[in-house]
Amino acid sequence: MIIIIIIFFISIILAFGMLTFRAWEIRTSRLLINTESMQTYKKGLSFEEIEKIVLFSFKHIIQWIVIFIVKNWFIIITKIKRLIQNKLPKIHKLFKKKPKTESRKISFVERAVMESKIKIRKVKEKIKKDHEEKA
């Protein structure tokens, strides 16, 4: 939470700095203002620009709706799970996942690899101890 607040203040300070820099450029005539580009905005928006704006806004609206539905779905599911666990333990036992027991035996190759790793680790520790004693 503190990181978010710090990032917020940094972004506010940077935005203020950019605005003051732009104002300084305009005041000192270091920025050339193109009047032709300003006149295009006075003419109005073209159909393509309106289409882009509408599609962009629809994209955000649909994303917001999907996220809202998914968030509420997870909240409802977790509340139902807690309710079943606390109020209805018999039903919870029916839906409880049974732990899987591994009945398969470790193969000869897997056992050999595990033993090799253990031996390598022991050798490394022994070498480290020998070098630490010498140093």
List, for residues 24-48, the tens digit of each pLDDT value.
Answer: 887 787 766 666 655 555 566 777 8
Average pLDDT over the chain, rounded to an integer: 80
**Helices and strands in the chain: count of H runs, count of E runs:** 5, 0
**pLDDT digit string, tens, across residues 46-74:** 778 888 888 888 888 888 888 888 889 88
Kindly report the three-state secondary structure assignment for every residue of 32-90.
Answer: CCCHHHHHHHHHCCCHHHHHHHHHHHHHHHHHHHHHHHHHHHHHHHHHHHHHHHHHCHH
CA distances from 70 to 58, 63, 64, 66, 67 (A): 18, 11, 10, 6, 5
Report the pLDDT value the prediction gives residue 17, as an integer from 0 to 100.
Answer: 85
Res 132 pLDDT > 60: yes
Q: What are the sequence ranges of the domains in the chain?
A: 7-44, 46-96
